[in-house]
Each structure stands twice: as C-alpha cells, then as structure tokens.
Structure 1
C-alpha cells in the first residue's frame, strides 16, 4: 500500500476514495479500497490506496485522536508512504471540535510540521481564498452551514477557527504563492515549518491549484484536507512507476433497492422534493420516533412494499423544523435515535434481500454502514462528483452509494440506483 487515508466519516471516505481511484485525466488512479473502521487483517497485496472510514467527526477530541492514531498505525504497518487526514470540504466542526486536535496528533506521531490544511473541493463549489472557505459565491458562514444541526460553521476564516482548536500558531499560503507553482508552495510550507507552525492553510480556487499543491506535497508524510486535496496525489506514485494507474472499474449489482435520507442539507431536501413527485416516499415523524410510535418495522414495511419503484424514507427537514425538534427533545437525543433507526432499518433491509442501497447524509451513512459490517468495499465508477459506487464482497454482496448531504445533482437518487446496477 502506497497511500493511506484516515477519513472522519463514511461519506467523506467514499468521496476521497473516488478521487484517488479516478486520478487525473489521461493518467488514471490508484487501486483503492475503503475499509469500514480499522481493519483487523492485513490489506490485500494489490491495494495501492487504503481509505479507513471512521465515524469520528462529531465525537470528543480525545476519542477522535485515539481512533485516528489507531488507523495511522495500521496504515503505516501496510507500508504507506503518505498519509492523508480527510475531513469535510465544509470543515464541519465547532470551536471545541476535533479537526485541529486530530491533525496535530497525527503530525506529532509522524514528527512533521508545515502540514497542509486544504478543505477545498472546487468541483463541489468549495474554495479557499485568503484563508476563508467559500461555498460557491458565499462565505461558509452565510451558505446555510451555520445552521448545521451538529456542527454549525459560524466563521469562514479557517485560520481563526483552527486557532480555537489547536496549541500552535496556524500558518497560511495565499493564492498568489499557489499561482507561482509547486516549488513556491513547497518553499512556503518549509518556511512555516521552520517557524514552528504545525498546520498551514493553503488557498485553492481551481483543480489546477490542487494539482500544484499535490505536487508540492509529493514528499510530505502527512497531508490534510477535503477530497480535493487528493486530486494530484495519485499522479506522483503513478509517475514514479510505483502504481499501475488502473484505478476504478465499472462495477454494479442488480437487485431490490431502497433509499434512506437523513441529511437536512439544502441539496438533499431538494433531491427529496424532486423524488417525491414520481416515486413512493415516506417522511419520518421524528416526534413519533422519540415516543416510540414510529419504529424500524414501519420503515422496512414501506420500503419492501414499494419494491421496483425506487422507494425513499427520509427525516430531512428545514432549519426551523430541525431546531424545533431539537429544542423539544434535545439535539443529541434526536441524533442518537435517528442513527439507531436508520441502522436497524438497513440491517433488516439487507436481511430481506435489498441489494442496492442509497444513503444520504454523513451521520446517517456512518450509522448504516457500521450496522451492516460489510468489511472492505471496492471503489467503482463515479455517480456524481464525490460519490462513487461501492461494492462489498462475500456471498451476498451489496452495492452502496453514500452521499454527503450537500453533494449530488437534483436527480441523484435515480441516477445512483442506475449506477449501482452497473448501468
């Protein structure tokens, strides 16, 4: 294994696995496998990039550090020459969050400074300019992410945000340096390291910027960012003749289907609204979940009764609706109850023969795949930017699409089901 990734949630893991497998046009990518948690066994010999998916984004820093260091040690044991710490391209966190602490802990374990921090993903509208994170033409804290139910982002200045989470000063490489090319970026990172800065925000507005940053990071043992940071990393190994350039293959699986949506993002709500017009859908009554009147059996019955029609169950709501239900029952209580509901529903669906499963929302996806315990997942073709086909092994394989809340085109659900069937 050449490159190892530690991802702080399951959709993010799929996102960067897709980027590594796809690689640059004309060059190909890396043979990539996604692992659900830290594996117990060694990686297969043909794996060039291993992505470990953790469910650590919203947990206490101490626990996130412990899990991330365990993942790091396993990846190093597989021979990885470079490690990527992958977090959301919208930097989902809080002032007491764990992105900074985990990045510092990984850097400390590897003995490095001047570590790139770059959540940019231009293909999904996430860019960094003068250390500020934008979602398309809006500052992060004005894009709707300030209303995130678990990790509200109320400041677009990533330098200022990280300084609340870390112990050392945070550096910055501005877009002018990036435009000068990879040598200039590498020199700027080295200077930040000499000045004792562990983490350094690097501006990026286009994919070309990310390729330049990737070249600058070719010899770095640790890189951190969103999935976009991986755009140029595969090319380094392929160019040296260390990797095959084979990347992703077209894979799929025919069979019964179901869609579970737990994200409250604007993109997912729009996808749900569009899907409702021509497919059977069931809105989850969250108050009913909390009082026990809505159970897993209600959801499973609906989905199985509507086989062949791309049925969807969802808990998505507007910011005002989410706020009201959280004030009534408690934010953590609601999140825990919904995670448990989606997890148990997914288990029963797979037992009942569902073979194509689409899941929307990072926390929801984490709950679902943790419950299914599918082992290593093969990375297939891209459905939409950041979302690949995933295929489990074994006698009863399952084809999955794990979508971050803000990702996907309006008709994502139908498109995903087609791709999961290999079409």
Structure 2
C-alpha cells in the first residue's frame, strides 16, 4: 500500500475512494481501524472514521490508530480527508488532527485544500465558496453541529491548530506545480507550516497534487486527491476488475441532513413517492420508534423515504429542550436502528443522506469494508457491502441534484 487515507466520516471516505479509483488506483475502503493486514495489491487504503464531531481527544486518538495501521501496511504518504465545507468548530476537530499527524510525520509543510470545483467548492484568497456564495452565507452557518460562520479558512483553522497558518494564493497556483511547491516551502520556512492553498479549477487540484508528490501529509476534500494517482502509478492506470452489477429488490432512503440541497431532494421525492417525516421531539420522547419507520417503508410497494430535515429554528428548539448532543445521538441511533430493521426485512438498496446519518447507518449495520462502484453524482459513488447482499449510496448533505434519491436507487439496482 502506497497511500494511506483517513476520512473523518463515511460519506467523505467513499467520495475520496471514488476519486482515487477513477484515477486508476486499486482502492479499498475500510470502516474503522481493521485487524490484520491489507491486500498487498492495494494501492490506497481509505480508513473511514466517524470522528468529525466527537470530542477532540477521541478524534485524535482514533486518527492516530488509523495512521499506525496504515503505516504498518507500508504507506509513505498520508491523506486526511474532511468535508469540502470544512465542517468543524473553533475547537476542532480538523486542526488538532492535523497537528497530531504532522507530529508523527516530521518537519514538512502540510497542504490544506477543501476545494472541489465539481461540487461547487472553491478556495480563493483563503476564503471558501459554495458556488458563488461565501461558505458563511451558504446555509452552513446554521449547521446544527458545526456551524460555519467564517469563510476565511486561514482564520478558522488558526483557532484550532497550535501552529501558524500560511497561504498559497491563486496566482501562484495558476503558475503551476513548481511555483506551488516553492511557495509551500517558503511558508514553511517562515514558520507557517499549515498552508491553505487556493483552488478554483480541476487544473489547480492537479497542479497541487503534483506539487505535493514528496510531502508526507496532504489534507482536504476529495478534490485535491485528483492529482495524487499520477504520483503513485508505476505503469498504466488500473481498470476495474469487474463491471458493476446492481441488486434487485426493495429500496429505501434515509435522510438526516439539514442541508438546503437535501431539503430540495426530500421535496422532489415526496411529490410522487411515499415519505415519512420524523420529528426530533417525537423520537426523543419515544412517540416515533425505529419499528414505526421500518414498518412504514416495508409496507410500501415502491421505495420509500424516512427523513428528519427540520428547518434550523426547529432544530435549535429541539436542542434547547433536550441538549445538542442528545438530539444528535438520538437521531443517529434512530436511523441506525431503522436501517438494521429494513435490511433484516429485505431491503437491498439503501440510500442515506447526511454524513452523520450515513456513518451511524454503516456502523449500525456492522459493515467492515465497501467496494467502490460507479459514480452516481460528483462526490457520491455507489458502494457494495463486502460479504453482504447490500448496495448503498452514502451522500453528504449538499451533494447531488434534486432527483438524486431516484437516480441513486436506479444505479444501485443496475438499471441506470
């Protein structure tokens, strides 16, 4: 194994694995830190953690466990994957994890680049944009767990890391990989080793990847991984061992994201398909149970949706009544339990929306490894559960178009 990747949630990890596989690498995605050794023919291992919103110390501990396992497999370069909207709080967890990894890997600059232009994320003058809107005006400012109220990634990251934060501006990125490499080391020499790098085009990401050829640590969204396969391939890109074949059988959608796009996707689905809205207060009080939701889905003749995507004001009200962590944990457990009952009831195609929801579902189902299939939408591949008769789409909240749920079920079924 050459490249060791650590993702702070499951949707982002499958996104990263998809980018690397499309670039010609043989990739395996693993849920949590595995026992034993990896297949020696694998080029890149992606260890998916659910560490984005857990306490900082626990996130660092789990990340270093994943790092140690990947290093034992022979990895010489490491990639820390976080969301392309830089989901974090002023305390972490991105900065503390970067600090811990850099301490293990020695004295070198570390790239920080959450940009992914294919999904509308770009970094310009150190500021993160979603489409043509600053991150802090994109809806992320009302995120229930990681409200992003400052689009300046340099400033936001400086609250989290013990190290000074540098910057490679767009004009240096446009000058190509040699200019980027030089700028990274200039920032490092000036005592700013954690370096935010601008990127607004795929060409910029490819240049950043080339510039980072010899760096031990790269961090960012999956977009910056576009340029990494070329550094690692000794010969021609690999081709998939087999064509994707979907699974027939019942499908279901579970949505627990408060993003604007997920709201639109829920609305689009609900116009012509069965859908059950789940209220946080009802879940916390036990008035709505996982069994209720599973029975609703399994009682339909067509795929059905179960969703909890309340408006920000309703979410805040529920958090004030029950506590922020209690609401988050309660809803995650609810969706994990629903997923188990659905799969036990015969569901073979499962779409999840929301990073925390997807992570809870994957952990709740006890999935240990995922085979990467075709891309459904930028940043979202179909995946097959290793050793199980189950295919999934794990979607970050803001990804996909309005008809994503239907499109994903078609791809998972092999009909698109």
**TM surpasses 0.5:** yes
Does structure 2 retain, via aligned residues, the 8 Å contact 1:30–1:49? Answer: yes
Q: Deviations over 1:93-145 (max 9, x none)?
A: 11112101101110110113311000001111110011111111111111111
Distance 2:342 2:259 in 1: 25
Distance 1:33 1:421 in 2: 22
Matched with 2:307 is 314
* One of 398, 408, 415 as aligned partner of 1:416: 408
Matched with 2:351 is 358
* One of 264, 278, 290 as aligned partner of 1:270: 264
* Residue 254 of structure 2 corresponds to residue 260 of structure 1: yes
Distance 2:206 2:313 in 1: 40
* One of 65, 74, 96 as aligned partner of 1:79: 74
Does structure 2 retain, via aligned residues, the 8 Å contact 1:251–1:381? Answer: no
Report the secondary structure of 2:223's partner residue. helix
* One of 273, 282, 306 as aligned partner of 2:276: 282
Distance 2:160 2:58 in 1: 15
Report the secondary structure of 1:254's partner residue. coil
Distance 2:143 2:47 in 1: 25
Q: Deviations over 1:355-387 (max 9, x none)?
A: 111000000001110111121111010000000
Q: What's the offset of the Cα at 1:225?
A: 0.3
After superposition, the CA RMSD in angstroms is: 1.3
Q: What's the offset of the Cα at 1:247?
A: 5.0
Matched with 2:46 is 51
Distance 1:265 1:204 in 2: 24
Aligned length: 414
* Residue 189 of structure 2 corresponds to residue 226 of structure 1: no
Q: 1:251 to 1:222 in 2, by over 3 A?
A: farther
Q: 1:199 to 1:247 in 2, by over 3 A?
A: farther
Q: Deviations over 1:157-212 (max 9, x none)?
A: 11111111111110100000001100010011112222232310000000110000
Does structure 1 retain, via aligned residues, the 8 Å contact 2:173–2:207? Answer: yes
Which range is displaced more, 359-368 or 192-201?
Answer: 192-201
* One of 162, 165, 173 as aligned partner of 2:160: 165
Distance 2:279 2:58 in 1: 32
User: Runs of at least 4 residues of structure 1 off by over 6 A?
Assistant: none
Distance 1:199 1:342 in 2: 37
Distance 2:239 2:3 in 1: 15
Report the secondary structure of 1:298's partner residue. helix
Report the secondary structure of 1:287's partner residue. helix
Distance 2:247 2:174 in 1: 44
Q: Matches of residues 18-29 of structure 1 in structure 2 within 5 Å?
A: 18-23=18-23, 29=24
Distance 1:90 1:370 in 2: 23
Structure 1 gaps of 5+ residues are 24-28
Distance 1:17 1:301 in 2: 34
Report the secondary structure of 1:6's partner residue. strand
Distance 1:130 1:393 in 2: 42
Does structure 2 retain, via aligned residues, the 8 Å contact 1:86–1:225? Answer: yes
Q: What's the offset of the Cα at 1:296?
A: 0.8
Q: What's the offset of the Cα at 1:393?
A: 2.1
* Residue 361 of structure 2 corresponds to residue 368 of structure 1: yes
TM score, norm. by length of structure 2: 0.97
Does structure 1 retain, via aligned residues, the 8 Å contact 2:5–2:45? Answer: yes
* One of 319, 324, 336 as aligned partner of 1:331: 324
Matched with 1:14 is 14
Distance 1:387 1:306 in 2: 26
Structure 2 gaps of 5+ residues are none
Matched with 1:26 is none
TM score, norm. by length of structure 1: 0.95
Q: What's the offset of the Cα at 1:328?
A: 2.3
Does structure 1 retain, via aligned residues, the 8 Å contact 2:109–2:215? Answer: no
Distance 2:295 2:210 in 1: 51
